[in-house]
Structure 1
Amino acid sequence: MEKWEASYIAGIIDGEGTITLTRNHSKEYRRPCIAIASTDKELLIYLQSLAGGKICNKKNYNPEKHKYSFTLTITKKTDVFSTLQSILPFLRIDKKKLRAEWILKYYDSVTLRDGKYNQEQLVLKIKFEKEFFLI
């Protein structure tokens, strides 16, 4: 990703995006996620070509009054980490910058590949998640 592309993505995330931890199933631990919502699918397709992820249609309950909207969701760890590393210097919203730094700094140290934690590791993992959401 070029520097100008990273700064462009950072601007989009500052305005319309989210940097968070999410889970796909209720029994699993949270993982990093970048999500960007827009009514412009062309923009999301371009961002997807740079950062990966998948685009989903959002439900439009009243098409007469509202535009159709879409969400680009990036959950693959390698895509999230490379995107966060590229855009970090360009993020301007403090909360989003702090969340990106938190994920990059601590996520790997509290996350086991097989997901099987002993009691001490589990305490650290849950503490990481709680402190992340306090940002």
Structure 2
Amino acid sequence: MEGWEAAYIAGIIDGEGSISLTRMHENEYRRPCISIASTDKELLIYVQTLTRGILNTKKNYNPERHKNSFTLNIKNKDDVLSILRQISPYLRVDKKRKRALWILKNYEKVTPRNGKYNTELLGKKIDFEEKFFEI
């Protein structure tokens, strides 16, 4: 991704996106994700070409009053971390910048590659999640 593309995506995330931790399955620990919601499908398709996210259509219960809406979700850990590394210098919304930097600084330290946690590491993982949501 070029620098100007990273800055552009950071602006979109600042305005319409979120940086969070989510569970893929009920019994798993949270992992980082980036979501962008918009009624402009063309915009999300462009971002998707740069990020490899998954584009979903939201259910429109009242099409006479509301436009169709879409969400781009990026949940692959390696993709999310790579994107955050590239866009974090350009994020302007304080909460989103702090969340991105918190994930970049701490996520891999508290997440074992094999997914198996000992007591100490599990405590660190839970502490990481709690502090993230305090941001």
Smaller-chain TM-score range? over 0.9
Q: Name the SS of the counterpart of 1:71 in structure 2.
A: strand
**Does residue 46 of the first structure (1) align with residue 49 of the second (2)?**
no
The Cα shift of 1:24 comes to: 1.5
Q: 1-side partners of 2:7 and 2:121: how far apart?
A: 36
The Cα shift of 1:82 comes to: 1.1
The Cα shift of 1:116 comes to: 1.2
User: Per-residue displacement from partner, 1:25-80 (whole Å, max 9, x unpaired)?
Assistant: 11100000000000011100100101111000101110110000000000111111
Structure 1 segments unaligned to the other structure (5+ residues): none
Which letter maps to 1:128?
Answer: F
In the alignment, what sits opposite 1:89?
89
User: Per-residue displacement from partner, 1:78-112 (whole Å, max 9, x unpaired)?
Assistant: 11111111111110000000000000000000001
Q: Name the SS of the counterpart of 1:72 in structure 2.
A: strand
In the alignment, what sits opposite 1:55?
55
Q: 1-side partners of 2:54 and 2:14: how far apart?
A: 19
Q: Name the SS of the counterpart of 1:108 in structure 2.
A: helix
In the alignment, what sits opposite 1:21?
21
TM-score, normalization by structure 1: 0.98
Q: Name the SS of the counterpart of 2:35 in structure 1.
A: strand
Structure 2 segments unaligned to the other structure (5+ residues): none
In the alignment, what sits opposite 2:111?
111
TM-score, normalization by structure 2: 0.98
In the alignment, what sits opposite 1:8?
8
Stretches of 4+ moved more than 4 A in 1? none
Q: How many residues align?
A: 135
In the alignment, what sits opposite 2:69?
69
Q: Name the SS of the counterpart of 1:35 in structure 2.
A: strand
- Say what the alpha-carbon RMSD is for the aligned residues: 0.6
Q: 2-side partners of 1:134 and 1:82: how far apart?
A: 23
The Cα shift of 1:113 comes to: 1.7
